[in-house]
């Protein structure tokens, strides 16, 4: 029988040392990968939330600008099924001392494509009975926002002011639903 003897100064590693080193390296790589996956998921969530916040802010600012010039005698706020709509006309100028009214403008919610108002997710997008906010200016329709939660467009007439609340709901890539509520008070120029 031949006995193997390690000679001092012989630079080499045993199989056990290589396996332990490989195991530690694999563990470190797994930890790094989990950190990367977690941070990527967190980033995707933050992008969705930020998009909702920015969109909610944009919607309220656009409505605020549009409604601010409404003539008081033309403002009609209607509540149907928890959603609010507003119809108004703005001051387009003066002629012979009288206010000249502009186009009739309506802001209202409508069911999003494929949805029915039945408490179910009819279009299979993960949101139930979602609405979209549209502006109708003299008959021409403009989509202002998808992702409006049912009952998520609220207007409260405060006399010379209007309280606007928008609730948006959307989901991120992982399917988690996020919502953003934005409120603003509009002071009418023509109360």
Q: Which residues pair with 186 in a beta bridge?
A: 162
Q: Average pLDDT in the 40-69 region?
A: 87
What percent of the chain has pLDDT above 70? 94
Tokens read off for 42: 């967190």
In terms of pLDDT, which residue wins out, 45 or 136? 136
* Separation CA 174–CA 172 (nearest Å): 5
Asked if pLDDT for residue 1 goes beyond 70, the answer is no
* Separation CA 170–CA 168 (nearest Å): 7
Asked if pLDDT for residue 25 goes beyond 90, the answer is yes
Find tokens 């206010």 and name the residue.
99
Contact 131, 152 (CB under 8 A): yes
Residue 112, domain member (yes or no)? yes
* Separation CA 150–CA 84 (nearest Å): 10
Question: How confident is the model at residue 112, as a pLDDT?
Answer: 84
Residue 121's Cβ-count burial label (10 Å; 0-12, 13-18, 19+) is middle
For residue 62, the enclosing domain spans: 41-187
Q: Average pLDDT in the 133-139 region?
A: 92
Residue 81, domain member (yes or no)? yes
* 26 — pLDDT class (breaks 50, 70, 90): very high
Closest CA to 105 of 52, 68, 59: 68
* 104 — pLDDT class (breaks 50, 70, 90): very high
How many CB atoms are closer than 10 A to CB 139?
8
Q: Is residue 50 within a helix (H) or strand (E), and if so which, with residue range?
A: helix 15-68
Residue 58, domain member (yes or no)? yes
Residue 14, domain member (yes or no)? no
Question: How confident is the model at residue 21, as a pLDDT?
Answer: 93
Residue 36, domain member (yes or no)? no
Count up the domains in the chain and report the number. 1
Find tokens 């009739």 and name the residue.
104
């Amino acid at each position: 029988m031949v006995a193997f003897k390690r000679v001092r100064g012989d630079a080499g590693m045993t199989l056990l040392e290589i396996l332990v080193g490989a195991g530690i390296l694999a563990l470190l790589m797994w930890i790094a990968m989990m950190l990367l996956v977690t941070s990527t998921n967190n980033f995707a969530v933050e992008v969705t939330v930020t998009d909702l916040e920015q969109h909610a802010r944009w919607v309220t600012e656009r409505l605020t600008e549009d409604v601010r010039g409404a003539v008081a005698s033309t403002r009609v706020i209607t509540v149907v099924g928890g959603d609010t709509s507003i119809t108004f006309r703005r001051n387009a100028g003066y002629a012979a001392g009288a206010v000249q009214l502009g186009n009739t403008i309506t802001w209202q919610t409508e069911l999003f494509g494929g949805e029915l108002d039945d408490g179910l997710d009819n279009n299979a997008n993960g949101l139930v009975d979602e609405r979209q906010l549209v502006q109708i200016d003299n008959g021409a329709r403009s989509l202002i926002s998808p992702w409006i939660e049912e009952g998520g467009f609220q207007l409260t007439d405060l006399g010379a002011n209007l309280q606007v609340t928008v609730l948006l709901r959307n989901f991120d890539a992982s399917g988690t639903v996020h919502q953003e509520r934005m409120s603003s008070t509009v002071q009418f120029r023509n109360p």
